[in-house]
Every structure is written in C-alpha cells, then in structure tokens.
Structure 1
C-alpha cells in the first residue's frame, strides 16, 4: 500500500535496447506520462537501457512510440545500439540480466562491435500525384486515350472503363516504382555497408521508394549530399524524406543473428 491507502502500482522494466557498458544515459527521458527516467542495467561488457513501467498501465500511445525511438536514436548518433522491439517488458532488473543479457551476451557484444561507427538512414519517397499521372499519360498513348474518353462521359456510364483505367495506371506506377527504387540504390548503395529496400509489391499506391541504408559515420555527409542530389533531381515529381542518423532498426536483428550461439532462442530485437 502507498501512503494514501491505495494499492501500490506493480512495476516492471521496459527495455529500449542494448548498448556497450559505460554509455552515458543521463538526461534521457523515456515512455510514460510524465516521462520515466532511462537508466542502465549493466552485465559484463553490456548494458540494457531501461525505465520503470506500470505493469497494467497503457502502453503504445503515439507519445510512447516517439519516446522509444528518441532514446535509441539519441544514443545511436554517438555509438552502437541494438534496438528492442517496441513494448519489450521484463519482470524486474534481475530478469533483464538473467533472461536477456546473460543468455545472449556473446552475440550482443559481437553485434555491437559489428555496428560500431554506423547508423541507419531511411529514405522515403512519395509520388506527386499530378506529376506522375502526366508522366504515365505521356508514356502510354493507350492510357492517355482511355483517360480522355472516360473524362468526356458521365461517371455512371463509364464505371468499368474507370476501373480498367485505374488498374492500368496502377501497373504503370508499379513499373515506375521499380525503376526509381533501382536508381535510388544505384546512387546511394555504394555509400552504405548494407541496404534493405521494401518490395515494390508491398508499397502503398503513392509510394515511390522505401529503403534503409546502414552507413559508416565517415560517409554520413556524403550520403546526405547524395540523397539531397536525388531530391533535387526529382523535385516536383517525388517528395523525398530522409530519416537519420537513427538506430539500426532494420539491421540489428541480422547483426545479432549472424553472431548468435544459441540458435533455438526467439529473437527479442528488431
């Protein structure tokens, strides 16, 4: 019971990620309202970034997601970090060591070393609808002709033609997306040590490109300039957004998997 006669809240440890022991976490604020102070749970050469969380409390608000990323990205700008999936809750400080750090110690240490001096940059591109439609109509005379025919008739009289037109335009945009993704990788991949591009088939209709790059710190400036050059080239056609340097969300799992010694365990990171 607390001093006001109400049941004490049961608390657990929320884990943000894994870092080398000795990292400075002072001043970091994590999830919760008010934000919880982030601390370290050390084990040999490792440490887990944690904060207290109410066991039965709400988790997963937009503010929590931002706080989770903010903690990891702040540290990723200065050293290696292995991000945990959002929502990683462990029973107590002892369980952080016994269930997370100790069983994966070797894999975590080696993965952190592999990621040292790198950070992730993610490039997201969205097609500007009017521009890309003009591009499709200019390249495909049959689509342009159908587009004009449909526009000249009442909507209720052209239902099937409109469906067909939409499907044809969608296929053309899918082809453009593949070409634009290839150009993005040709321009930026030489500046990265690893690349992950989202499959074109999984992209939203207006998505031009979605790719993540693991980049060494010495190449951050060159990478950003190359991305800026691509943005200038596609100005008015594709709106590009570059996120980074951020924690290696898309690469940490592979780094740990490559270094694992206990093949059968679940992967808690990523």
Structure 2
C-alpha cells in the first residue's frame, strides 16, 4: 500500500482508514467521528468492487492525539460491527486527495485487496486482555513454593539493610515463579479459545501484572460459542485473573496474513 503522504503546500488531505467492499449498503458513516475534526464526514472513495473509507483532514497540524487514535479505531470497529469485512490501514495514512487514493491505492492494490477481503468475509477480531490480581498470584506462589515462603518470612524479621542479596534472590525467585505461571496460563487460554478461532495472534502484555494480550479471528457463526468460552474462562479464574474481551473489532492483527506478501498499512 501507499505510505502516508501529504500534498506539498495543501491545507487539506485525504485520510484513509481502510478498504472495504464497494457497496451502497453502508449507512451511518456520517455519524462516525472523523480523525482530526469531528465535524468532517466519513465517506467512501469507490473503485470497481472495492472502496476506501476516507475523510478530509487538515495537513497543517500533526496527528496522534488520543482523540485521533480513538477516532481511527472507532471508524474501523464500527464497520466491523456492521459485519463488513474491512482491511485496516496504519494510523496516520494521508494522501493528497480522493483521486490519489483511487489511483495510488485502489487501482494498484485492487486484486490483492479483493483476495484479502474475501478471506476476511464473515470474520471479526476479538482481543482478550488478561491481567493478574497480583496479590492473589503472589499468595499462590507462596503456597506452592514453601522455600520462597520461608525465605520471605525470614527476611521479614530483619531490617531492609540486612540480607541485601537474599532480598534480590527472593525477588528473582518470585519473578521466575510468576513467569512459569504466565506460560502455563497463556497455554490454557490458547487451549480453550484457539480451537474456536480461524487464526490467533499474541503479544506481550504492557503492564507488570499482565498475563497476555491475545487476538482471535472468529467466524461470525462461531461468535456466540467463542464469547461463552471466554466467559467460562473468566468464571474459572475469578478473583485471580481479570479478563477483558474486546470485539467485534476490525482485524488489525490479521491483515498481513490476509494480504499475503503485499505490504499492508494496518
């Protein structure tokens, strides 16, 4: 796809959210908040049997505010919620105008987009964010590893200055024990949910208490079963792990595979 670009000297550009099948059935685009200016309308640039989702954007200010990021995701997720296959572009993709979108993006990428949209048809992404209750997991470690519990109890009886290296050892032992739990619990998430998805993708959690961030590409016909399985997992780990299931979302984590060898923008 075309990298982000701005027309030299232009005050306005064309912001591109992603590509969808060309259709007259898309309604409610005017209700979506556009990147850069909530008063601007989100529209389509059509080319044959595909279309780019776009809006006008001022090019004299940088993009990247929380509101911009939320607007970008909001447009794409609203389309996904309508059941439309959508190929998300990377945040900040701006071209000179609608004609440039048609000629530089849709014309050259037409065949690859059609194949990818067909692969995404009838699917949506669900992202599971799992985070430990740190106190609960620490007590698990102390219960399961008596040598760690005994070391902790002994160090609680001496000053902070004493047994400095033993305190470092205690921290390392606890971290290793929690890391082992993280591996086992991540495997259980995959075991329970991956069979209900067409594809999966995982990433490291951003916080110390994070267990895993996992994304699943789920067929529409299996959505209810998948959501029930996630609810069962939340009940199973109640008081130990906090689970947040987000979706249906645009398939951000699966565009690269859908596009094959072609560079993607989302």
TM-score, normalized by the shorter chain, greater than 0.5 = yes
Q: Distance in 2 between matches of 1:140 and 1:12?
A: 60
Deviation at 1:79, TM superposition (A): 1.0
Residue in structure 2 matched with residue 208 of structure 1 by the alignment: 211
TM-score (norm 2): 0.91
Residue in structure 1 matched with residue 4 of structure 2 by the alignment: none
Residue in structure 2 matched with residue 41 of structure 1 by the alignment: 45
Deviation at 1:9, TM superposition (A): 6.9
What secondary structure does 1:99 align onto? helix
Residue in structure 2 matched with residue 256 of structure 1 by the alignment: 259
Residue in structure 1 matched with residue 31 of structure 2 by the alignment: 27
Q: Distance in 2 between matches of 1:74 and 1:203?
A: 25
Residue in structure 2 matched with residue 183 of structure 1 by the alignment: 188
Q: Distance in 2 between matches of 1:98 and 1:188?
A: 41
Contact 2:255/2:264 (<8 A) preserved: no
What secondary structure does 2:228 align onto? helix
RMSD, matched Cα:
1.7
Q: Distance in 2 between matches of 1:241 and 1:152?
A: 39
Give the paired residue count: 254
Change in Cα spacing, 1:56 to 1:121, as seen in structure 2 (3 Å) is: same
Q: Distance in 2 between matches of 1:198 and 1:268?
A: 19
Residue in structure 1 matched with residue 56 of structure 2 by the alignment: 52
State the Cα deviation string for residues 42-80 of structure 1 (Å, max 9, x = none).
Answer: 111111111111112131111111111110001012210
Gaps of 5+ in 1: 1-7, 261-266
TM-score (norm 1): 0.89
Residue in structure 1 matched with residue 5 of structure 2 by the alignment: none
Q: Distance in 2 between matches of 1:170 and 1:256?
A: 39
Deviation at 1:136, TM superposition (A): 0.7
